[in-house]
Amino acid sequence: MSAKTTYKWIGSSPVRPDGVDKVTGRANFGADHSEPGMIYGKVLRSPIAHGRIQSIDLAPALQIPGVLAAMCGDDFPDADAIQGMSSGESPADMRDIARNVMARDKVLYHGHPVAAVAATSPEIAEEALKHIQVTYEALPPVLTLDQAMAQDAPLLHEDQITRGLPEKPTQASNIAAVLTLQRGDLKAGFSQADIIIEETYTTPTAHQGYIEPHAVVARCNEDGRASIWCCTQGPFVVRSLSAQVLGWDIGRLKVTPSEIGGGFGGKTTIYLEPLAVKLAEKSGRPVKMVMSRGDVFRATGPTSASRTHVK
């Protein structure tokens, strides 16, 4: 009989570094953080899937006792002036990130943020949202890949020109880019194949479904700097993206990540963070914002649907 082999890790029961805090309830997640004098932010979201914002009137919400700040897209720098691609797991056009954080001229999906308020209680903030007056011009939505790529499809971004084509198009399109990768001699490979299988596969939009909703607390200091506490997989990405959307120097922001109740890549970008900072700046008080489960599913990063032809 051979001698029993002892391994350092195989067959052992290592203690999970964050296990004790989580099972005993000591771990602090995004929504657990609080600051002295903290107030509560809520987001008004679009009730339509596609449309132009004709007007927003925040004044009625500001008249409600307990409401200390209200904001909309006009409170941010021009999204079109933000250049470059984001860093992180899935690079994206910074203009798209800025427009997604808060709608500017158009809403692009049901649940797109159009305004936000901060008040002394979550209930007052929710009530204030009902008093914000928004006028929309509803536009036809696109609901599938084929609809979006059709030549006569309603344009989501009138300034989007398809990248990656041999000749640059002159008209806008919903197709963001074309990427061609080629390797080997396909014709020769098929001619030598014993069996050729050709199919088209489709997948629907899918959300990661993490347990913990997005949450953030932001505080602005008298020196013009701000601190953000949030549940994130990438604090440095949150700091960089938030600074660009706010039009701030990155050195003005400090981001502290909390424990995270699941992310699966869905907490590597920003949604509430710039809103919380702006509301904190306007109100002079720390602001907490926590998404509902409905907000998470409507307005955060599910993977896109796909149609893949394979031969």
Backbone φ, ψ for residue 303 (5° rounding): -75, 150
The span from the CA of 150 to the CA of 176, in Å, is 13
* 3-state SS, residue 301: coil
Token representation of residue 302 = 């599910």
Domain range holding 220?
Answer: 31-141+207-299
Virtual CA dihedral for 299, 303, 305, 310, nearest 10 degrees? 170
Task: Output 280 or 10, whichever has higher pLDDT.
Answer: 280
Q: Which residue has the tokens 């679009």?
A: 46
Q: Is 261 exposed, middle or buried (0-12, 13-18, 19+ CB in 10 A)?
A: middle
Residue 82 lies in a domain: yes
Task: Output 1 or 146, whichever has higher pLDDT.
Answer: 146
Residue 256 lies in a domain: yes
The span from the CA of 67 to the CA of 12, in Å, is 55
Asked whether the predicted pLDDT for residue 91 surpasses 90, the reply is: no
Asked whether the predicted pLDDT for residue 87 surpasses 70, the reply is: no
The span from the CA of 27 to the CA of 43, in Å, is 27
Task: Output 216 or 17, whichever has higher pLDDT.
Answer: 216
Q: What is the pLDDT of residues 151-186, one digit of tens each?
A: 899 999 998 899 999 999 999 999 999 999 999 999
Angstrom distances, CA of residue 257 to CA of 28, 39, 128, 231: 10, 20, 30, 6
Please count the other Cβ atoms lying within 10 Å of the Cβ belonging to residue 121.
Answer: 11
Residue 165 lies in a domain: no
Residue 153 lies in a domain: no
Please count the other Cβ atoms lying within 10 Å of the Cβ belonging to residue 79.
Answer: 21
The span from the CA of 98 to the CA of 120, in Å, is 27
Q: Are 226 and 253 in contact (CB under 8 A)?
A: yes
Q: How many domains does the chain have?
A: 1
Residue 176 lies in a domain: no
Q: Identify the pLDDT of residue 287.
A: 99
pTM: 0.91
Residue 174 lies in a domain: no
Average pLDDT over residues 120-135: 99
Asked whether the predicted pLDDT for residue 198 surpasses 80, the reply is: yes
Residue 244 lies in a domain: yes
**CATH classification of the domain holding 249:** 3.90.1170.50
* 3-state SS, residue 89: coil
